[in-house]
Structure 1
Amino acid sequence: MSLPTTALLHAIDADKTKLDAARPLPVHTLASLREKLTLEWTYHSNAIEGNTLTLRETKVVLEGITVGGKSLREHFEATNHRDAILYVEAIVAKNEALSEWQIRNIHSLVLKSIDDKEAGRYRQENVVIAGASTTPPDFLHLPEEMKSLVEWYEQADQLHPVERAAELHTRFVKIHPFVDGNGRTGRLLLNFELMKAGYPPAIIQKEDRLEYYDSLDEACVSGDYGGITQLVGNSVQRSLDTYLSVLGLRN
């Protein structure tokens, strides 16, 4: 049974304190954890969007091997996502602030060689999202919507990092600024925020897809971010469990 949100955030912070106390982590341990989480993050984020590569197939694609019977697009989705993670890690390491430019760069990597014309470009047309209760804003309003998103983010430092990451993700998805790749880009932004604050990435699993979409929809409609924060928090907790177990710190 999952903890209520406040208790969950306390538990996450207690585990993060344990992890921070163990830093710097052994080099090979850190490398293997990073590889594991990059693979799982790439697999699940793509699977949520309909990519049919299995976890093992995703692993071999990231190693440079072509998988028979899978489309070129699915291969690019895997390698692009890995490259986008590397980019996010780099901007976190340099302590760069989030900006529209960064968001466009992340998206550009997500759609590279899949749709180069739209990569990093705000949509030039209106769209609807299948299954969603809200309609994204008119494309003519995207510059002001994205400017407002960054302004909100700059003022949101009173929120717990997990809450801020969940709300940033939701607000971005609601704007839906690109014709394709919004979900993947949004989850990369989610983890940019978490990693910047020293937390491991939240890997929303494809098995949680329905709960994820439902909690996103609820937050977009009502402005209540409790459900999506809970889902993100549970995902962060899972990553922390992985770290602490490998380090022998999980009691």
Structure 2
Amino acid sequence: MDGERIPWKRIEALMPVNGEIATRLAAVDALQAAWKDVQAQAAPAEVEASLKRRLRRHAIETGIIERLYDVSWGVTEALVAEGLTTEVALAEGEITVSTLDIIRDQFEALAYLVDWVRDGHDLSISFIRGLHGIIVQHQHTYEARDQFGRPVLLPLKAGVWKELDNQITRSDGTVLECTPPLFVEEEMERLVEMWKGTSGQHPVIRAAWLHHRFIQIHPFADGNGRVARALTLLSLQRGHYAPITVDRLQRGEYIAALDEANAGDLRPLVRFFARLEERALRAEIQAPLSPVPQASGALAVAKAYATRLRAREVGELKTKADRSARLAGAVHAHLVRYFEPFSIDLGNVFREFDPRSVTSVDHAAPPDAKSGYWHGQLVHAANLADFYTNLADGSWWVRLHLRVRGSLLRFIAAVQKVGQGETGVLAVTVYGEVLSASSTAGERQELLFRIFEHANTPDSATLVYTDDVEERWPEIQQLVDDALADAIGRFSTHLA
């Protein structure tokens, strides 16, 4: 039985996006400022190489989202790091030549978009057609349905508006009718005109609006999702933000946010894109490893390092370091106050199941020597959240233990420095693992499994040294609540 059909409707202009969105975007902007400071100190070649890595990741994931192909995490990382070359693909032995061609096309489209913005151009009909033409240049057919509902392959015309009706089938079976072919040209012209009217809005809001309205029209026979995700980079590049990537793990949340936008509420999609932007900016924050001066010789190097050491003691770097430490300490205090009563309540619950169950909480912060604990666990959490963690001076952590029937749940919430040097950026991360917990004194605990891996990566919270802990705490608490619920659920399943 067919699901409910929702008739197509004309796209609407951007309405004011209110609520907590402004606070979220202010956090994005503060993070962007830190990112731009780091970029200003880096060599142009390093900045360009970083951008290309971001575009390669987007190019790979955008096709996975559409289920055009599947690429493992390991191969993805190799292609992102080393380039979309035949040598890398063949060495990994997983990607066909035709799949690599599609990924390259998607990368070339993103590179075309970046060059378009750098040349001072904006959204236009010809640009959108050209973007589609590059994305699908190695895709010659698409799957459609004939009058009897049977799948058929039809020729795909690059850069040409659709000639047949298309629609979006949601997970609940509801069918959203897209703009009929007769009205596509008119609606696309309205899209470009309305886009100009959004010029005063935040780039993340503009990206979400353009993305959704384009999806609503669905102007091409195929490739609409890939074009729409590429178009998110248009406003971000113009506003000097980092490119974002919707990856395979976020597909469900992404589609749910689009469904909310279809129902008239753009805010979930804006929040989703804001989180992606935070993640992208945070991943790119790396202080330069080499001195900026170009003079050669031991004396020049010594002078460069002496200048950097003096800057660490005075001025902006010291301000960032001091304020970051105060903020991290304040977040840590909130975490301790959260976990201590929670541990007692959790122990009471599990003692009904096992009278011998035990809970405990420990914590540390710099300069305590214990702040250097859990190095491997925190690096793992940082890798999942896609950022470089600076653990040289330790971290601000809280550890919860739950021992039940020979098994141990270890859960760690930590505030970590992001990037090398004093970037002024912090990340609140969570980590969970289950170990054997023998009662024999001194016996080594065996790691049974980690709670969070690529298949169920938890969110993280990004802070900058100018943030106010009281404003950001509700978001951090929600992160910890959700991660704890997941960890306790998986631990309970293991016990069963």
Does TM-score exceed 0.5, indicating one fold? yes
User: Which residue is equivalent to 2:61?
Assistant: 44
Deviation for aligned residue 1:9: 0.4
8 Å CA contact 1:219, 1:225 repeated in 2: yes
| Among candidates 108, 113, 120, match of residue 133 of structure 2 | 108
Provide closer, same or farther for how the CA distance between residues 61 and 242 of structure 1 changes in structure 2, counting only shifts above 3 A: closer
RMSD: 2.2
1:208 aligned onto 2:258:
no
Amino acid in structure 2 at the alignment position of 1:122: W
1:78 aligned onto 2:103:
yes
CA–CA separation in structure 2 for the residues paired with 1:23 and 1:79: 27
1:154 aligned onto 2:184:
no
User: Which residue is equivalent to 1:237?
Assistant: 278
Provide closer, same or farther for how the CA distance between residues 133 and 185 of structure 1 changes in structure 2, counting only shifts above 3 A: same
| Among candidates 137, 140, 143, match of residue 182 of structure 2 | 140
Post-superposition CA distance 1:51-91 (Å, at most 9, x none): 21234445177113454564554222211011111101100
CA–CA separation in structure 1 for the residues paired with 2:118 and 2:128: 16
Provide closer, same or farther for how the CA distance between residues 61 and 31 of structure 1 changes in structure 2, counting only shifts above 3 A: closer
CA–CA separation in structure 2 for the residues paired with 1:39 and 1:97: 23
8 Å CA contact 1:80, 1:111 repeated in 2: yes
User: Which residue is equivalent to 1:54?
Assistant: 72
Provide closer, same or farther for how the CA distance between residues 240 and 69 of structure 1 changes in structure 2, counting only shifts above 3 A: closer
After the TM superposition, which of the residue ranges 180-189 and 54-63 deviates more from structure 2?
A: 54-63
8 Å CA contact 1:161, 1:193 repeated in 2: yes
Post-superposition CA distance 1:214-240 (Å, at most 9, x none): 1112202x2211000011110010010
Deviation for aligned residue 1:114: 1.1
User: Which residue is equivalent to 1:89?
Assistant: 114
Provide closer, same or farther for how the CA distance between residues 48 and 112 of structure 1 changes in structure 2, counting only shifts above 3 A: same
Deviation for aligned residue 1:158: 2.4
User: Which residue is equivalent to 1:169?
Assistant: 211
8 Å CA contact 1:156, 1:164 repeated in 2: yes
Deviation for aligned residue 1:5: 2.5
| Among candidates 216, 229, 233, match of residue 187 of structure 1 | 229
1:8 aligned onto 2:17:
no
After the TM superposition, which of the residue ranges 164-173 and 238-247 deviates more from structure 2?
A: 238-247
**What is the count of residue pairs matched by the alignment?**
248
Q: Which has the larger radius of gyration?
A: 2
- Aligned partner of residue 62 in structure 1, secondary structure: coil
Q: Could you tell me which runs of 5 or more consecutive residues in structure 1 were left unpaired when the two chains were aligned.
A: none
User: Which residue is equivalent to 2:446?
Assistant: none
Deviation for aligned residue 1:130: 2.4
- Aligned partner of residue 129 in structure 1, secondary structure: strand
Deviation for aligned residue 1:32: 3.5
Provide closer, same or farther for how the CA distance between residues 28 and 163 of structure 1 changes in structure 2, counting only shifts above 3 A: same
CA–CA separation in structure 2 for the residues paired with 1:165 and 1:130: 23
Provide closer, same or farther for how the CA distance between residues 81 and 56 of structure 1 changes in structure 2, counting only shifts above 3 A: farther
- Aligned partner of residue 167 in structure 2, secondary structure: coil
CA–CA separation in structure 2 for the residues paired with 1:154 and 1:6: 21
- Aligned partner of residue 36 in structure 1, secondary structure: helix
Deviation for aligned residue 1:28: 4.2
Q: Could you tell me which runs of 5 or more consecutive residues in structure 2 were left unpaired when the two chains were aligned.
A: 1-19, 141-154, 289-419, 427-496
Deviation for aligned residue 1:13: 0.5
CA–CA separation in structure 2 for the residues paired with 1:19 and 1:230: 20
Amino acid in structure 1 at the alignment position of 2:180: D
8 Å CA contact 1:61, 1:78 repeated in 2: no
Deviation for aligned residue 1:39: 2.3
Identity across the alignment (%)? 25
8 Å CA contact 1:43, 1:55 repeated in 2: no
Deviation for aligned residue 1:177: 0.5
8 Å CA contact 1:73, 1:114 repeated in 2: no
- Structure (1/2) with the larger helix percentage: 1
CA–CA separation in structure 1 for the residues paired with 2:245 and 2:214: 18
